[in-house]
Amino acid sequence: MTPTIIRTLKELREVVAGWKAKGETVGVVPTMGALHQGHLSLVRAAKDECDRAIVTIFINPKQFNNPEDYENYPRTEEEDARKLVSLKADVVYVPDGEQMYPSGFATTVSVKGITQSLCGAHRSGHFDGVATIVTKLFTQTQAKKAYFGEKDYQQLQVVTRLALDLDLPIEVIGCPTIREEDGLAMSSRNLLLSDRARTWAPELHRAMEEMAEGLLSGGDHASLKAAAIKRIERAGFSEIEYLDLRTADKLELVEKPDKPTRLLAAAWLGGVRLIDNIAVQ
């Protein structure tokens, strides 16, 4: 069944009201399109757990700190709709800028604390943009459950926090990162990698795995981090923004994995910013 493509909030509200009148539950998968197997795994989870699944596709200008990055972000709407057919998504909601930010729009949702470090420290305003659009998507779709990939681990924590703080009647569900066979975390941005950069890209994950193994066997944090950075740089990455071991819940910096922790990294390869994270526990 081809999912219904909806472009206006008015139409979305009508469809959702019809479902709710029948007592059906709604799951939402917020995306910016360029769908890959990671997104599709979220849609499968939504279909398994809810009566109806909405996939939203909106390349949110407010979460890009760099206009060029926004312009270059992959746009593959027709292919995205095709990928959703076999998964039986009920609706693909593709609002335009005017639907989401009509003239006079003046509200920002801003989560403090966990947004200050990692991507928040390197992408000014990014998480305000994410928090604002996600709050709107939650209220527009009236979903009971929302599905996010653990690949964007800090984003998952931010969205979980805002849903709790604003008493939104929605459960935020984190789903495992889906990887290519060579270990590279699936991401829409992988489409922007040159063929050569694509062959080097998995080194980020491999270096992180090596560092995590070292930490778990009691190795010294500073020397393991230095070795991982060397390996990532040797693979052709030009800048490593962060490679941090942090607590899994509050994202506080630690040096030993003696409680649930994550190793998180962001680095640039051939002009493309890649992020990844793994559990270390």
According to the 3-state scheme, what is the secondary structure of 69-90?
A: HHHHCCCCHHHHHHHHHCCCCC
- Least distance between ligand PAF and beta carbon 119 (Å): 10
Q: Choosing from 36, 39, 126, 205, which is the catalytic residue?
A: 39
CA distance 156 to 173: 8
| Number of residues lying near ligand PAF (CB under 6 A) | 10
Selected binder of ligand PAF within 30, 38, 95, 202 (CB under 6 A): 30
Q: Does 133 bind ligand PAF (CB under 6 A)?
A: yes
CA distance 184 to 53: 27
Sheet holding 26-31, edge to edge: 4-6, 91-93, 52-57, 26-31, 145-149, 171-175
Q: Does 135 bind ligand PAF (CB under 6 A)?
A: no
For residue 168, what is the DSSP state?
-
Task: Classify residue 148 by burial, with Cβ atoms within 10 Å: 0-12, 13-18, 19+.
Answer: buried
Selected binder of ligand PAF within 6, 15, 31, 251 (CB under 6 A): 31
Q: Is 122 a catalytic residue?
A: no
Q: Does 141 bind ligand PAF (CB under 6 A)?
A: no
Q: Is the torsion defined by CA of 209, 210, 216, 219 positive or negative? A: negative
Structural contact between residues 228 and 244, judged by C-beta atoms closer than 8 angstroms: no
Closer to ligand PAF at the Cβ: 192 or 207? 192
Selected binder of ligand PAF within 41, 60, 115, 177 (CB under 6 A): 60
Q: Does 6 bind ligand PAF (CB under 6 A)?
A: no
Q: Does 265 bind ligand PAF (CB under 6 A)?
A: no
Structural contact between residues 93 and 56, judged by C-beta atoms closer than 8 angstroms: yes
- Least distance between ligand PAF and beta carbon 166 (Å): 16
Q: Does 32 bind ligand PAF (CB under 6 A)?
A: yes
Q: Does 160 bind ligand PAF (CB under 6 A)?
A: no
Q: Phi and psi (nearest 5°) for 22?
A: -90, 5
Active site residues: 39
Under the rule (CB under 6 A), what is the footprint of ligand PAF?
Answer: 30-32, 60, 63, 130, 133-134, 152, 155
